Amino acid sequence: MKPAPFRYHRARDTEGAARLLAELGDDAKVIAGGQSLVAMMNFRLARPRHLVDIGGLRALDHLGTDSTGALRIGALTTHHTVETAPARRLGPGFDVLRAAMGWIGHLPIRTRGTVGGSIAHADATAEWCLLAVALDAELHTHGPRGPRRIPAAEFFFGSYTNALDPDELLTEIVFPRPAPHAALTEFAERRGDFAIVSAVVDLDLAGTEVRGGRVALGGVAPVPVRVPEAEQVLATGGSFADCAAAAAAAVNPPDDANGSADYRRRLIGTLVRRACEEARAR
Amino acid sequence: MTETPIDPAIDPAAERQLLALDVNGTAYEVLCESRRTLVDVLRHDLRLTGTHVGCEHGICGACTVLVDGRPARACLMFAAQAEGARIRTVESLSGDDDGRQLSDLQQAFRDHHGLQCGFCTPGFLMLAEGFLAERPDADRAEIRELVAANLCRCTGYQSIVDAIESCATARRAKEATEATATDETPEAAEATGEER
Amino acid sequence: MSTTTGAHTPDGGEGPLVGRSVARREDPRLLTGRGRFVDDIALPGMLHAQFVRSTVANGELTSVDLDAVRKVPGVIAAFTAEDLDLGDITAQLDRPPEEFVPTAMPVLARDRVRYVGEPIAVVVARDAYAAEDGLEAAKIGYAVRPPVTCEADALADGAELVHAQAPRNTLVDVALFATEGIDEIFASADCVVHVETRTGRQNALPLETRGAVAHWDDREEQLVLQTCTQVPHQVRTVASRCLRLDERAVRVIVPDMGGGFGQKCVVGREEIATAAAALRLGRPVKWIEDRKDALTASFLAREQHYDVRAAFDAEGRILGLDADVVCDMGAYSCYPFTAGIEPLMAAAEMPGVYTVPAYRVRGRAVTTNKAPTAPYRGVSRPQYVMVVERLFERAARELGLDPVETRRRNLITDFPYTGVNGITYDPGSYLESLNLCEQTLRDEGWYERQAHATAAGRHLGIGYSCFSERTGYGSTAFAQRKMEVVPGFDISEVRMDTSGAVTVTTGTMSHGQSHETTLAQIVADALGLDLAKVRIHQGDTDRVTYGWGTFASRSVTVGGSAVRLAAGKLGEKLRRLAAARWDIPWEDTTLGRGRVHRHDDPAATLTYTELADTAYLKAHLLPKDMEPGLTATASFDVFNDGTFSNATHGVVVELHEGTGQVEILRYVCVEDCGVAINPRVVEGQCRGGIAQGIAGALFEQVTYDAQGEPSATSFMDYKVPTAQEIPDVTVQHLETPCAFSETGAKGAGEGGTIGAPAAVLNAVNDALRPTGVELDHTPVTPETVHRALRRTLERT
């Protein structure tokens, strides 16, 4: 379990990283925290000929709310930074993100793994991918053809594939508005494992009354998905149980060693309801 | 796997780099292939064999070290990524020069039988060392959640949780005592002493 | 121990060390990163080996082309089976061909591959990275044959044969017992219950994978093989035979070991190939198994199928057991235990703690195209205890009796008891442990909590397991298994130097069990010495006369007795020496505090250093009948059926409706391993064992697809439970000393693992009672539980 040989390049800044990626083409891979990539390289399931290390790009390590109330997270911000961020940088409107970090692996993974790395890796069960889709995040990139802003809904193509061009760098993740009544929950046989199913619910509350909300699921398709059928239930004053049932009925989850389609559907029912309740309590 | 030959353009020997690493406060220079992981460089190039290798995919935690004070998997980092960071390994835990005097955390593991074969132990020690520095107030449930980061096949984990919890409790008690001591004027301290 | 007084204890206390939880001697080096595990060894000029492994489960090898491998940068050499020309590893039972068929396991596959991961060639390179580069360049040709991937495949008519010489793919087939008239007993019984169980294939999974460093020492004219094994002398025997060297010319040294649990108590092919490569190249060669290989190509265990009936009378007294056990042993017999290890253990021991009057059993080992198996902590006992305990639960349910009371009526209480299986059980606390365990859960209010939870629509279950564990197998007991090599005894040497410190050798091999501490406690007591003055040596075939290593919970019982006897002999020599000086009978002396004391004059003493001074440096002063030096050797063997540790485990679980998750709310273990040399070490063994038992019951399994490809290649798929899944365990001790071990100790290494699956499964089934579903296969996954719970939810 030793990686195949590669050439190591250390980027000094975003421009330099982009230039390296443009020069090296398809054979290059960006490494940030490396918590997924290095494991895959050790198994030789990934074998890039060139590794571009962006770990030193301080400019991409930031977290804070801008004047519009949007939360801007630099791609190199670690899960641990989000988890431990003080309220002045990560306000109560984004508690859902802080709380969700506890589901990502374990502490030594969270200290190195980055928000941008997780989203660029595009694992269908990854918490950040799900949060981005659920909360309408915008993904900012930098490449030779200039910067792009890609809505999360259009970013994920399939398992481990996304809208990033090979020479393009994910620089920032922007959550456009607070989600004070949102929650992520998931289930795996062991805590810290990749979820069999994960769910995010973001409620629109007026007082305690539910006016509507967003429901998104991970582990049920090659990419995280919004579930309009379940959101419809929330918008029309249906119960959390009905919302959960609608979510379970709406998707066609995979059948594999981690769980049958039927079991996944039942988990969706449990988790969506649980996420609804946690979201309302937040 | 047999169909993907090594790219002849990437001769591993030609991809060697000179790295400057700060490990346990000592500056090292290492000439190694760029693909070498941090844990292999620590163990085999620097001969700091206290850090162990258990899975090489980030799950078991036997290779856990501190990177800038925070626990991290040394199998999921290339050594090149560690340049500029302060790395700490189990060899640094002891307070004295020859590394034999047990720290309070190490002693707690001994007192609570927190190790049997000892293979996972350095990983757990560094995990706890980094965690307690940040979360000295952690309760047992939080410590248990932390301990779940690494695998141990011998102990059933209970004694590891016990050890870390007792170390944290003792540190808090010591801190409280010291805080009281510094608050008191010498006269007041004397008076307290007499009362005892 | 009656001859000693006032040993110094490390905590400054007085009195014997045995029975005290003294701090471990192993800890300081392991805590400071100064242990020396096999991968920590670096020798000048050392090369690194990795193995080209089969990618098909069954087939003929049509070509092995390593030309391209040898051209990979950094690769020094690559060898096929033909290049190395080594003897095979063949484990034997002394049984007729209809009962046992041996398999010759080649060190490297020659013409046939029998499982994915089987080693075909060894690649040696300047480092582990280049070695792995080399593997990718190997060109292996296969003529693929249909794989045999399960018991049903193996036993099917006209099945593909994994070994041509083994019809019906059966390596072991023994009908050990068949009580006359058993069919009539079943026909006329008030109640007959049936349990069919399949248990998942598991990996013992020491956190340190297997590995070896081999080099030729010209000065000693010896191959030095440093490897993490539980059985160093057996590795030496196999290495010398495969490499065609005198046994003297092989020295096996075991460094610190990161666990073993049975996986390392058999001889692996890779350590022999590593040694062969080192000899061929004249340079040290290291092989460290990576985790992927450890998960897929190492020795596995535990995949068994039980089909068992039990007959009971109306009062819940068991009348008979009728069992068919089939164990899927994979591609080869392991050395030295053979594929008989699991079926023979199950067949011999199944009646366990109960008075079973009639017993019939057939035990089989089938061979399949899967990685071979080795003993794993508990060996078959976790499974048959689970089956028998399920049978008792089911019978109690059927008869409308309390399951705990039903057990009580059947536990052995009159000792010694000779069972229907011909085994004589020495005294234990079977009933007492069950009573204490049940009382503990009652006192803590778990039965009330269960009632409240049930009323509230939650699913709480309480389960128990009662079991014994034969420990201290001597050569008599192992001979009954009809192994060709019969383990059992242990030899120990105690040597005192001129400073009064002693060095003790043992043939046992600690890999986490704390022998450097516990055996030293025994010696320190026997000689009246400071613990710090005693050093245990193990795991070096040149230092240790002979040994059978550590497995089957034998170390403290057998090894500890040998150590005690040898120390006793040395003590006698010290007393005789002192008595000669004083000109008194040696019986009028005692040992203590590093001195020999006179009974008639407490003030007069001779220190061990004074006596050693005479024994070594002033031998002319020795009495004429006394040899110079202070050494003593003793051996110990067990000439009866061994000694039985016992325990009861009590578990409370809650099943979560929404996810099917099994949460363990409470775990109580009441154990009796006789005299506990170091209670904290015993508790550690219990807790660690229980964690592995829970792992088997709820989490871990190696599965294979239809092509014989193993599914679990990483820790993502092989789900070793963490601190979040393993609960705190309360351990309570009872003490029924062993009458024939020198210390009163029984073994304690495996009990936790044995009792946990049964107790957990019974608790799960207790919680499932309202559903009418019973789960008998392991691991019990959340999905299985969820499906079972739904039966009632959908009904109501």
Q: Supply the ipTM of this predicted assembly.
A: 0.96
Q: Are residues A73 and A46 in the same domain?
A: no
| A276, pLDDT greater than 70 | yes
Q: Among residues A161, A240, A160, A167, which one has the least CA distance to residue A208?
A: A240
What does the pLDDT average to over A50-79?
Answer: 96
| Structural domain ending residue among the three candidates A120, A149, A175 | A175
Q: For residue C368, tell me if it sits in a domain.
A: no
Is the separation of the CB atoms in C103 and C162 below 8 Å?
A: no
Report pLDDT for B56. Answer: 98
pLDDT digits (tens, 9 = 90+) for B99-146: 789 999 999 999 999 999 999 999 999 999 999 999 999 999 999 999
The alpha carbon of residue B190 is apart from the nearest alpha carbon of chain A, in Å, by 41
Of the pLDDT bands very low, low, confident and very high (cuts 50, 70, 90), residue C120 is very high
Q: Do A193 and C719 touch (CB under 8 A)?
A: yes
Q: For residue C350, tell me if it sits in a domain.
A: no
Q: Please state the separation of Cα A257 from the chain's center in Å.
A: 23
**HSE value, Cβ hemisphere, 13 Å, CA-based, for C60:** 3
| Structural domain ending residue among the three candidates C636, C654, C675 | C636
Packing angle between helix C381-399 and helix C341-349, nearest 10 degrees?
40
Report pLDDT for C648. Answer: 98
Of the pLDDT bands very low, low, confident and very high (cuts 50, 70, 90), residue A130 is very high
What does the pLDDT average to over C656-672?
Answer: 97
Distance between CA atoms of C379 and B52, rounded to whole angstroms? Answer: 29
Residues of B in contact with A107 (CB under 8 A): 71, 127, 130-131, 146, 149
The alpha carbon of residue B92 is apart from the nearest alpha carbon of chain C, in Å, by 8
Mutate: best of B81, B87, B125, B150, partner A, most A CBs <10 A: B81
Q: Are residues A63 and A136 in the same domain?
A: yes
| Structural domain ending residue among the three candidates C576, C604, C636 | C636
| A25, pLDDT greater than 90 | no
CATH code, domain carrying C536: 3.30.365.10
Q: Do A189 and C782 touch (CB under 8 A)?
A: yes
Kindly give, in sequence order, each residue whose CB lies less than 8 Å from that of residue A36, ignoring residues fewer than 6 positions away: A113, A117, A118, A121, A123
| C5, pLDDT greater than 70 | no
Residues of C in contact with A263 (CB under 8 A): 660, 783, 786-787
Distance between CA atoms of C131 and C69, rounded to whole angstroms? Answer: 9
| Backbone torsions φ then ψ of C174, nearest 5 degrees | -130, 135
Report pLDDT for C391. Answer: 98
| C188, pLDDT greater than 50 | yes
Q: For residue C338, tell me if it sits in a domain.
A: no
| B49, pLDDT greater than 90 | yes
Q: For residue C590, tell me if it sits in a domain.
A: yes
Residues of B in contact with C30 (CB under 8 A): 115, 118, 121
Cα dihedral sign, C378-C437-C450-A278:
negative
Q: Are residues A160 and A211 in the same domain?
A: no
Count of beta carbons in the 10 Å neighbourhood of residue C760: 29
Report pLDDT for C8. Answer: 38
| C12, pLDDT greater than 60 | no
Q: For residue A1, tell me if it sits in a domain.
A: no
Q: Are residues C631 and C700 in the same domain?
A: no
Count of beta carbons in the 10 Å neighbourhood of residue B95: 12
Domain of residue A36 covers: 7-53
Q: Are residues C44 and C25 in the same domain?
A: no
Of the pLDDT bands very low, low, confident and very high (cuts 50, 70, 90), residue B14 is confident
Report pLDDT for A144. Answer: 87
What's the mean per-residue pLDDT of chain B? Answer: 90
Q: For residue A139, tell me if it sits in a domain.
A: yes
Residues of A in contact with C783 (CB under 8 A): 259-260, 263
CATH topology of domain B93-181: DNA polymerase; domain 1 (1.10.150)
Considering only CA atoms, give the Rg of chain C. Answer: 28
Q: Are residues C543 and C595 in the same domain?
A: yes
Residue of C nearest to A267 (CA): C659
Q: Are residues C456 and C536 in the same domain?
A: no
Q: Are residues C456 and C565 in the same domain?
A: no
Distance between CA atoms of C120 and C131, rounded to whole angstroms? Answer: 14
| A6, pLDDT greater than 70 | yes
By percentage, how much of chain C surpasses pLDDT 70?
98
Residue of A nearest to B145 (CA): A106
Distance between CA atoms of B114 and B99, rounded to whole angstroms? Answer: 20
Say what the alpha-carbon torsion angle C526, C531, C534, C535 is, to the nearest 10 degrees. Answer: 130
Residues of A in contact with B69 (CB under 8 A): none
Report pLDDT for C546. Answer: 93
Q: Are residues A168 and A208 in the same domain?
A: no
Q: For residue C593, tell me if it sits in a domain.
A: yes
Q: For residue A2, tell me if it sits in a domain.
A: no
Report pLDDT for B183. Answer: 65
Count of beta carbons in the 10 Å neighbourhood of residue C21: 18
Q: Are residues C397 and C291 in the same domain?
A: no
- Name the strands in the sheet holding C170-178, side by side, starting at the edge strand that comes first in the sequence: C170-178, C359-366, C318-328, C304-312, C191-199
Domain boundaries of chain B, sorted by first residue: 16-92, 93-181
Q: For residue A198, tell me if it sits in a domain.
A: yes
Q: Among residues A268, A261, A274, which one has the least CA distance to residue A246?
A: A268
Residues of C in contact with A192 (CB under 8 A): 722, 724
Domain of residue C714 covers: 379-472+642-795
Distance between CA atoms of A24 and C333, rounded to whole angstroms? Answer: 52
Q: How many domains does chain C have?
A: 3
Of the pLDDT bands very low, low, confident and very high (cuts 50, 70, 90), residue C14 is low
Count of beta carbons in the 10 Å neighbourhood of residue C301: 30
Q: Are residues C241 and C108 in the same domain?
A: yes
B81 to chain A, any CB pair closer than 8 A? The answer is: yes
C719 to chain A, any CB pair closer than 8 A? The answer is: yes
Long-range contacts of C485-489 (CB under 8 A, 24+ apart): C485/C234, C485/C336, C487/C336, C487/C548, C488/C548, C488/C558, C488/C637, C488/C638, C489/C548, C489/C558, C489/C562, C489/C635, C489/C636, C489/C637
Q: Are residues C456 and C515 in the same domain?
A: no
Count of beta carbons in the 10 Å neighbourhood of residue C1: 17
CATH code, domain carrying A186: 3.30.390.50
B135 to chain A, any CB pair closer than 8 A? The answer is: no
Q: Are residues A43 and A142 in the same domain?
A: no
Q: Do A55 and B72 touch (CB under 8 A)?
A: no
Q: Are residues C18 and C47 in the same domain?
A: no
- Option in B40, B71, B78 nearest A111 (CB): B71
A145 to chain B, any CB pair closer than 8 A? The answer is: no
pLDDT digits (tens, 9 = 90+) for C573-620: 999 999 999 999 999 999 999 999 999 998 999 999 999 999 999 999
Q: Are residues C404 and C521 in the same domain?
A: no
Distance between CA atoms of C658 and A248, rounded to whole angstroms? Answer: 13
CATH code, domain carrying A26: 3.30.43.10
Task: Look up residue C248 and give its amino acid.
Answer: R
| Structural domain ending residue among the three candidates A144, A175, A206 | A175
What does the pLDDT average to over C622-641?
Answer: 94
Report pLDDT for B193. Answer: 39
What does the pLDDT average to over C25-44?
Answer: 98
Report pLDDT for B184. Answer: 57
Q: Are residues C445 and C514 in the same domain?
A: no
Name which CATH class applies to B16-92: alpha beta
Q: For residue A226, tell me if it sits in a domain.
A: yes
Mutate: best of B73, B89, B145, partner A, most A CBs <10 A: B73
By percentage, how much of chain C surpasses pLDDT 90?
95
pLDDT digits (tens, 9 = 90+) for C365-416: 999 999 999 999 999 999 999 999 999 999 999 999 999 999 999 999 999 9
Q: Are residues A187 and A276 in the same domain?
A: yes
Residue carrying structure tokens 């109501």: C796
Report pLDDT for C796. Answer: 47
Q: Are residues A124 and A85 in the same domain?
A: yes
Of the pLDDT bands very low, low, confident and very high (cuts 50, 70, 90), residue B97 is confident
What's the mean per-residue pLDDT of chain A? Answer: 96
| B43, pLDDT greater than 50 | yes
Q: Are residues A100 and A169 in the same domain?
A: yes
CATH code, domain carrying A106: 3.30.465.10
Q: Are residues C659 and C775 in the same domain?
A: yes
Is the separation of the CB atoms in C678 and C518 below 8 Å?
A: yes
Report pLDDT for C2. Answer: 35
Of the pLDDT bands very low, low, confident and very high (cuts 50, 70, 90), residue B180 is confident
Subunits in contact with chain B (3 or more CB pairs closer than 8 Å)? A, C
Interface of B with C in 134-173 (CB under 8 A): 144-145, 147-161
